[in-house]
Chain A
Amino acid sequence: MMRRIQATALLRDTLREAAARWVFWGFYGLSTALILFFLFLLRIDVIEGARATVTLLGETSPRALPVTRLVRQFEGGVASFLYVAGMGLALFASAGLVAATFEPGRIEWLLSKPVSRVRILLWRYAGAVIVVALNVCYLVLGVWLILGWKTGVWDAHFLVAAPTTIFMFMVLLSVVTLAAVLTGSAALATMLVFALMVLSPILAQHKLMVRLLDSEFWRDVWRAMYYCLPKVFEVGRINMNLLRDRAVESWMPVWSSALFAAVVLAAALAAFSRRNY
């Protein structure tokens, strides 16, 4: 009973703090703008149920495209935007939310309560995930409903963009959490995850790099980095394959990224449990 009350309080605290931060409202504003774009500015005229023309700000496309392809293209664009820009923005906002827990004068107060440190950190992590997940679901469902309503094409594959984006956000948020525990700096945590996002497509070329490198030592370093670090780029590719109803060659990027998140989060919990404030 007591644990439930404490968990609800910690979660409510995170949601309340997120609501007080403009950056989260900016995130929701951006999603709403995208939904409104599909609702009002983009007109799709379906011709005889199979082909469609697109009218954007009064300009009509010169040729009609198969309607299913058109919808998939729009959905692919939204999914890519969400996976890259949306996730980047969500990480930027969440870094401040997690790091704020460790502010001097606040952390001492929190730790003086009869709550275990593990629960304090886990519920802050969970709170940040819930805030972002709600926004992602809002955007994906909103766009899906509008496109379905306008074209009659209800492509359920698009809905997979939500869990995929939330999954990779959770993986990268674990890095933010560890960095925030160790340094208390939101800026450093953000820089670290952005570096991982940039590094990911480079590391994804590991087969080519292994061929190019002369030294066995550096080949091993490259392989180790590839297998250990989260595979943002490859999970993004899996996301697009699922969206286009194509087969997924390997699920390794997903489970290895999940394993990475579990290890990093466990390290964050261990570091937080031992730290003096």
Chain B
Amino acid sequence: MDPDAAIETRELTRVYRQRWRGREIRAVDGVSLKVARGTSFGLLGPNGAGKTTFVKLLLGIVRPTAGSATLFGVDCRRPEARLRVGYLPENHRLPSYWTGAGLLDFAGALSGMDARARRRRIAELLDLVGLQEWANVRLSRYSKGMLQRLGLAQALMHAPSLLLLDEPTDGVDPVGRQQIRAILRELEDQGVTVFLNSHLLSEVELACREVAIMDRGRLVLAGRVKDLTAGKGYLVTAAHVPEALFETLRAKAASAAMRDGLAEFLFPTREEANRAVDVVRAHGGWLESVTPTGSTLEEVFMRTVRPQTPEQL
């Protein structure tokens, strides 16, 4: 494991077994991913792709069936791994008997901050998310958007090095969204790693430098947003690609992924794609397809994610 990576997973798997029906659901299926420190990373995928389970695995909320994950080199199952992590869960239910300031104080104390540091930080954060006038009002009187902003503030309370946000703009109005984006940009400039889990492609495209796409528990594509969306590119899909060759081509490609035994490489130019095809064939690989890529993240997403059958919906 790389201690310099903010997040690193190896073949991370979570399988749910339905006892009565004898069925297995692979919520997360052999995901290997590395997120460098200081980057903004977006995890995309359709509903039920396994994004939230993946985040929960990182935080030790769900135990892996197989594989491993580390946060800053520390096994994610240990509480110490979460010392430098701030988390905003999807559909959170922050205790409504607290006031805004009280909740931030509670969150800071759980992260081990002393009382003086908490007091100072609470004032800063309430100001940052525009809730200073609501500091002493109980959360039961907060709107959805206000709760979301307070949720972001509590995640930032102990100045984390890694911020895991699950659908952070859910229920937030356009002005609030812009504020949240500005905060995230500022955090990235300060060297904080931002991991954004969302199904809103435009949100991720605006806020993240790197993305990964999950589909049915598997990681099907990963790369820099700039490369994935830059002009025209070519997606080369091949079978029987030896592992060493896959790694060689991955280094040259804008992004690469393995899906159902097929290797997928995205090349920015026709020449590079052709060279890759030649190399794959020379090493005994079978060419499956060469597809020109679009220029928006949505198009990359739609091409990558397989449509679900009515039974899977």
Residues of A within 8 A of B (CB): 1-2, 5-6, 8-10, 12-13, 16-17, 19-20, 103-116, 274, 276-277
Contact = CB atoms under 8 A, between A and B. Distances in A.
Given A6-B110, A13-B95, A106-B93, 7 more contacts: A5-B112, A5-B113, A6-B112, A104-B93, A107-B61, A109-B89, A111-B60
A102 to B, nearest CB: 11
B97 A16 contact: yes
Contacts of A115: 79, 110
B93 A113 contact: no
Given A104-B91, A104-B93, A114 B111 contact: yes
Interface of B: 56, 59-63, 79-83, 85, 87, 89, 91-95, 97-98, 102, 106-107, 109-114, 164
A186 B11 CA distance: 38
Given A116-B79, A276-B63, A277-B56, A5 B89 contact: no
B58 to A, nearest CB: 9
Nearest to B81: A114
Contact of A6 (B60, B62, B97, B109): B109
Contacts of B59: 108, 111-112
A105 B56 CA distance: 12
B95 A17 contact: yes
10 shortest interchain CB distances as A-B pairs: A9-B109, A105-B93, A20-B97, A2-B112, A112-B87, A113-B110, A114-B82, A276-B62, A108-B89, A114-B83
Interface centre among B81, B93, B110, B113 (most CB of A within 10 A): B110
Nearest to A120: B110
7 contacts: A5-B113, A106-B94, A108-B61, A108-B89, A112-B61, A113-B82, A113-B111
Given A5-B114, A114-B83, A277-B56, A109 B94 contact: yes
B113 A276 contact: no
Contacts of B92: 105-106, 108-109
A274 B63 CA distance: 8
Contacts of B94: 106, 109
Most buried by B among A9, A17, A110: A9
Contacts of A277: 56, 61-62
A10 B95 CA distance: 12
Contact of B98 (A16, A104, A107): A16
A75 B113 CA distance: 47
Given A105-B93, A109-B94, A114 B61 contact: no
A107 B182 CA distance: 29
B61 A111 contact: yes
Contact of A114 (B62, B79, B102): B79
Nearest to A18: B97
Interface centre among A1, A105, A116 (most CB of B within 10 A): A105
A158 to B, nearest CB: 35
Nearest to B140: A20
Contacts of B109: 5-6, 8-9, 12
Listed residue (B91, B112, B113) with the most chain A CB atoms within 10 angstroms of its CB: B112
A20 B97 CA distance: 6
A110 B107 CA distance: 9
A6 B79 CA distance: 13
Contacts of B87: 109, 112
A111 B60 CA distance: 8
A277 B110 CA distance: 19
A271 to B, nearest CB: 13
